[in-house]
Chains A and B, each alone.
Chain A
């Protein structure tokens, strides 16, 4: 009898505890998405409506019409050109990601498969500089770009992507754990050239590591603000974050249009995230991101 009540009370306590846990977890899950819901919904209302009440639902009455009107208001502003920003961001992030993963894989592979002199030192240096932020050499980099006549060009953000110590480190770790040199030797016996072996045999094996690193490299480049804000000065070269930063300028007070601009910059990322979240999260769990 006594034991039973004890059991029951303990199971009641457990249930209460469970409910508490669920409530807290649900609260934080909601907290994570509500701002975006609010942002997307506000993008479909006109400025006057948003300023008098908080909208957490879309403007069903005039969904397409008002959204279009917000788009048009925004398009009339000379500084925010979504298509241009999107194209530039795509170009810069795409090119630099491709360069980063290919050359990092090449470097990591070179360090793994060839026992040349000084490779341990080089790898130690790579690990050492991994955490050095790119921002510390910005004055030197700016002047270098100036003297090379590249200032304001997209190349200033693309070329340095070839050398990404971070990515090299993670791909090297992957190679250490799940790549066997025997494959390379077998290929050599079959008469394959070294670059052929790398491109056709080793690279496909590295795909899981490369994919994870590609996602993070792309996100990093896409969200980058500090370097582009200093190096890109022409409006036709500006990336999406730079344009978003100009959204809240001066006396531009059409908030529907502002929310539309913000949503437009968030939307592609959210869509891509929906598809890739599994890989992203497993990448984070593996410690693949630099904070």
Chain B
């Protein structure tokens, strides 16, 4: 019995020990996900903050691959020209193999000859014998090439068989999608014109009147009637007149001038464009000559500002053009709408790929699937065309293989005995550094083109540049006294201007050469500038603090954030204090406390973006009759010209601060009420007995006891405030459209907006390094604030006890 008991206890103890293992299991998902998705990115952000990274998505290069990086992006033959062999000490013929390798790799990246979907389709088609005229021998070669990832096995006979099949294969889907992708990219540019980076720059706007009333417009109309028009052009004019339904084109342009037809009329641009640069041929096959339209540029500018973006965006299928083009959406889906939209675009002159041909002495649009997308689309719908997906993909893949194997760099390498070059090329879209290094070893370049060698070359190059610049400088200096004397002599005479020009030229030259001597351009300067990861140490941090142009933005963004936060938090705190005092005041006994709390907290749960867009609407400004609510109120108070809030930095800041205040005072109030309720009732009772009034009780009891909670609220609010983004970002979302000037954009740009602009903005060079450095600054700031919170929140008695314990231990040790 007793034995049994001990046994059970023992086994229980063992089991208890084994339970602890479950603890690791339970926290494992959290730890793994946290390390992978938060910690690792944070560490890499640290890493990037020390680099001059200029791309968010580019391949990542470590330090050790700098040499490969130079190999790829520095063409030494271009840098040295004829003196290449003497300077570098490598035969040019040999060196070109490296260049050819990268040409081939670029082609592989671009064409993806071994794209997985494509080769699967190709193999399927071959195994099922779907490709007419392709022999079993070829099929075997293709299969071997795919399995060994070496396209060398597809020799010229096999390739020509594949090509022959491809040229005999016609697929309407492919024809249409190809054209759609072209149209889509050109329309995308018109619909979303790039906002000029120059802040505050106003481009001159052209109005319809400018065009119609210009002299060239009238001249143009009269010249339409001239005698010297070529027969083919006359045919074009007749065609266009018929297109717009007028007797002659002169009539048409006259009615445009008279204002009967507006410039926005779709056919207007169609007429102008086709008249200016027609696409088409007459019966003899000669291309039709156009008729110069002098104001076509203005019409384009005018329409792309006033009319086209709306026209294009109003098309219901426009947003799907890309999906149609890439085959994600079947062309048959919503096909009639697509055709309608294309027709509309054609009639507005925005699709210009329709050829006109002569037929019975008149011009008509050519009915050709290749050149007329409308015709192709019509046929496609009428015939209920279904393409064979496999064959379509095969045709595409064959073109890709063809494009890759035809690449000059690759064929040169294959021609000079590197038949296995494909085994060094990586086909997954990025250079495989290991494979390249193997190839470099095979070439025997491993010791010749090292990192040190590049550095040496760079130093020599700089030295040479300095010597050259010195020579030029000496020459210019020698010239200077003479020119100076000439100028002095010429002052006051007719020749002054010319002499001054000459003097300026020489002094300019001197300054230029001095600059070159000071900062000689090295061989690697250009490459380093565009490299994706070059360690620059603390440069990014230095830059964001010292660089004049960046000072305005980085430190400015911290400053803006702080200003916006302070402007919001002070009224928020004060109001929350007052309201919480009232709500907890037993003398007033406010009714409906929970309702009030619920109402006042409501703004906090609503999406901040929605609120920002809403307030942007409320405070919008326009000069017309249509007015936003704030302007209507101003009108009511007699300020009839209104006030453009978003033009003033401080007005915008106040709006943002107000939104923050409005969204958050409810939250602060609820926290404070909870804090006040936790204060012991007996303190208030004794105060009452002592005869203290409400105010005294509040100042002497509530406030001091509330201080930790207030501090906690302020610090958490500060941490939140540092991440201010949604509201300021959406209040001046598109600077070009609300007439913001340069200072405006900067005056509300917060830290996160700055990070977003630098790393994910629209500019070509993404300043990932700079953005990361700012992120790290933000991280450090929040960490410090978190530590403060941690100290505020820790249990004071426990901390004291721990301290006493440590002290006792220390004493005991002594």
Contact = CB atoms under 8 A, between A and B. Distances in A.
Interface of A: 14, 17-18, 21-22, 24-25, 28-29, 31-33, 35-36, 38-39, 47-48, 51-54, 76-79, 103-104, 106-107, 109-111, 113-116, 119, 122, 127-144, 146-147, 151, 159-160, 162-163, 165, 168, 188, 194, 198, 219, 222-223, 225-226, 229-230, 235, 240-241, 244-245, 247-251, 253, 255, 258-259, 262, 265-266, 269-270, 273, 277-278, 280-281, 284-287, 289-291
Contacts of B608: 223, 225, 241
Interface stretch (B227-235, B387-395, B582-590): B582-590
A199 to B, nearest CB: 12
Interface string B564-582: 0000000000010011001
Given A78-B318, A135-B723, A141-B41, 13 more contacts: A21-B590, A48-B626, A52-B627, A52-B632, A54-B633, A122-B31, A137-B38, A142-B759, A230-B756, A258-B613, A262-B614, A270-B602, A285-B674
A122 to B, nearest CB: 7
Contacts of A25: 579, 582, 590, 596
Nearest to B627: A51
A289 B318 CA distance: 42
B56 A115 contact: no
B28 to A, nearest CB: 8
B667 interface: yes
Nearest to B758: A139
B614 A39 contact: yes
B480 interface: no
A113 B24 CA distance: 11
B667 A32 contact: no
A248 B778 CA distance: 30
The 3 closest A-B pairs by CB, nearest first: A114-B23, A110-B26, A140-B41
Contact of A139 (B25, B48, B626, B782): B48
B805 interface: no
Contacts, number: 314
B20 to A, nearest CB: 4
B667 to A, nearest CB: 6
A115 B23 contact: yes
B787 to A, nearest CB: 8
A159 B37 contact: yes
B607 A135 contact: no
A114 B21 CA distance: 8
B451 interface: no
Contact of A107 (B27, B45, B47): B27
Nearest to A147: B60
A139 B778 CA distance: 13
B417 interface: no
A136 B778 contact: yes
A143 B25 contact: no
Contacts of A286: 674
Given A110-B26, A140-B41, A290 B782 contact: no
A103 B725 CA distance: 29
B9 to A, nearest CB: 13
Contacts of B22: 110, 114, 194
Contacts of B21: 116
Contact of A281 (B48, B601, B712, B752): B601
B662 interface: yes
30 contacts: A14-B587, A25-B579, A25-B590, A33-B602, A51-B627, A52-B627, A54-B633, A106-B27, A106-B29, A107-B26, A110-B23, A119-B27, A122-B27, A127-B790, A128-B786, A133-B719, A136-B782, A140-B45, A143-B48, A159-B33, A163-B29, A225-B730, A244-B607, A248-B733, A262-B610, A262-B617, A270-B602, A270-B606, A277-B598, A277-B601
B776 interface: yes
Q: Kindly state the interface size class of chain B when it binds its partner.
A: 35 or more
Contact of A114 (B20, B34, B587): B20
Contacts of A147: 60
B43 interface: yes
A269 to B, nearest CB: 6
Nearest to B709: A287
Chain A binding surface SS class: helix
A54 B629 contact: yes
A284 B670 contact: yes
Interface stretch (B307-315, B431-439, B507-515, B699-707): B307-315
Interface in B762-804: 768, 771-772, 775-776, 778-779, 782-783, 785-786, 789-790
Contact of B782 (A133, A250, A287): A133
B716 A290 contact: yes
A261 to B, nearest CB: 9
B322 to A, nearest CB: 10
A88 to B, nearest CB: 14
B616 interface: yes
A78 B319 contact: yes
Contacts of A103: 29-30, 33
B543 to A, nearest CB: 16
B159 to A, nearest CB: 32
Given A107-B26, A144-B44, A132 B33 contact: no
Contact of B602 (A17, A32, A229, A265): A32
B614 to A, nearest CB: 5
Given A138-B775, A226-B752, A269 B614 contact: no
**Chain B CB within 10 Å, residue with most, of A141, A143, A251, A277:** A143
Contact of A143 (B15, B44, B582, B613): B44
A262 B633 CA distance: 22
A132 B783 contact: yes
A255 B613 CA distance: 12
B734 interface: yes
A241 B670 CA distance: 27
Given A136-B782, A226-B726, A285-B670, A33 B733 contact: no
B609 interface: yes
B734 A131 contact: no
B790 A225 contact: no
B29 A249 contact: no
A250 B617 contact: no
Contact of B38 (A160, A245, A262): A160
Contacts of A289: 667
